[in-house]
Amino acid sequence: MTYGAGRWPGSEAGMPAPPGWQPHTEPPIEPKRRRWPALVAAAFLVGTLAVGSWAAISLTSGPATSPSHPQVASVSAGIVDVNTFAHTLGQGDQLIPVGAGTGMVLTADGEVLTNNHVVQGAWKIEAEVPGGSTYTATVVGVDPTHDVALLQLDNASNLATVTPGQATSISVGDQVAGVGNALGHSGPPAVATGAVTGLNRSITARDPNGSAEKLTGMIQTDANIQPGDSGGALVDAEGQVVGMITAGSDQNSSTSGRTTGFAIPIDTALTVVDQIHSGGGTTILMGERGYLGVGVRPLDAATAQRFGVSDGAMVVGLDTGGPAQQAGMTAPAVIRSIDGQPVTSADSLGPLLHSHTPGESAVVTWVDASGQHTATIQLIAGPAV
């Protein structure tokens, strides 16, 4: 199975390629076609409960009605399609579409809330607002731990915004609606109604590329959440946003055949936004991060034996003219440390690099066919974390 042209999304972030991934040379897909079923999946996490069971969820009484059409319509005006693009490692700067997700407009001048995994690995981000206008978006800051990202739409003004509510106001059994860019279709947001089936849930969410993250405090719903809805709104019966859609599951939440989706409480997401506004926190990454110019995946047994190592991030491709290539790195290679900190896996490489901003240098140690090397490498601006 192939993922993208020449590389998979998130390679620069140190995320491992999925099993069976192979580069290919098919011509780029035109962004306006929007028929990206395999690519849309890159912006969708599949949730599995870390503890407990999908069944035995009892519903308490709640409002008898779902959010009405006028209430959903008022939210839909502040929902944007978030489309991401990346270039192929080693083949210049040509951009190809790699994912589609959703965002919520927080301010009239274009601040947009979405998931970190929606924009992760993107070299270019575009947001299409209701009515068809498209804006280039830049990353203000992200919190990978909470899967939150804040974007700024360039030269935006007079945009409709969503109305945040309070996640603490909802109970199990309350009727809700998920509003988002389901399946990456252009046009008005899709709406999926359902009920709250759980609160304060902990999940391990995995995307189709195999990366995973642990999320806590989640709102669970039986609304039919779809790939592409990530970053969209979970709306209560009053038309207020109580959560940001983050994950869905292909498993049933009960024997009745209900689907299952998860949302980050809006209070949690907006707390992260406040931290970004104030300049960051312990889990916040502000603006552009340092980029080494490598594509990595988990170390396989054959490469480990060949280079005499037991762990590290296996380099499978380099950006032509990028920092790593200019420092003399070749592929295959295994990165062993950054600034003296051990790189124990492909997943551990990204956080070590992301502590640097463009222009800063990192001391990189790697092993290849000619032996071990250490070089001080100046990093450049790279894709979204």
- Residue-level length of the chain: 385
What is the reported pLDDT for 54? 26
Specify whether 267 is catalytic: no
Catalytic residue among 211, 230, 249, 253: 230
Specify whether 117 is catalytic: yes
Catalytic residue among 74, 76, 117, 222: 117
What is the reported pLDDT for 127? 97
- Is the Cβ–Cβ distance between 112 and 153 less than 8 Å? yes
What is the reported pLDDT for 40? 53
Give phi and psi for 39, each to the nearest 5. -80, -35
Retrieve residue 124's tokens: 């270019």
Residue 46 β-bridge partners: 206, 248
What is the reported pLDDT for 325? 93
What's the gap between Cα 198 and its chain centre? Answer: 23
CA distances, 21 to each of 17, 144, 186, 271 (Å): 6, 24, 28, 37
What's the gap between Cα 326 and its chain centre? Answer: 29
- Give the DSSP letter string of 199-247: EEEEEEEE-TTS-EEEEEEEEEE-S---TT-TT-EEE-TTS-EEEEEEE
Delineate the domains of the chain, giving CATH numbers in brackets: 1-286 (2.40.10.120), 290-381 (2.30.42.10)
- Global pTM reads 0.77
- Is the Cβ–Cβ distance between 130 and 160 less than 8 Å? yes
> What is the full per-residue pLDDT of the chain (385 aa) written as tens digits?
233 334 434 443 333 443 343 443 333 322 333 334 444 544 556 554 433 222 222 223 333 345 766 778 889 999 999 999 987 776 666 788 888 999 999 999 999 999 999 998 898 999 999 988 999 999 999 998 899 999 999 999 999 999 999 999 999 999 999 999 998 887 789 999 999 999 999 988 766 555 667 889 999 999 999 989 999 999 999 999 999 999 887 544 444 455 789 999 999 999 999 999 998 777 888 888 889 999 888 999 999 999 999 999 999 988 888 999 999 999 999 999 999 999 999 888 988 998 899 999 999 999 999 999 999 999 998 887 7
Catalytic residue among 74, 81, 143, 147: 147
What's the gap between Cα 332 and its chain centre? Answer: 27
**Cis peptide upstream of residue 144 (ω within 30 degrees of 0):** no
What's the gap between Cα 373 and its chain centre? Answer: 33
Helices then strands, counting H and E runs in the chain, come out as 7, 22
What is the reported pLDDT for 93? 67
Specify whether 230 is catalytic: yes
- Is the Cβ–Cβ distance between 215 and 146 less than 8 Å? yes
Residue whose C-alpha is closest to residue 384's, from 28, 25, 133, 43: 43
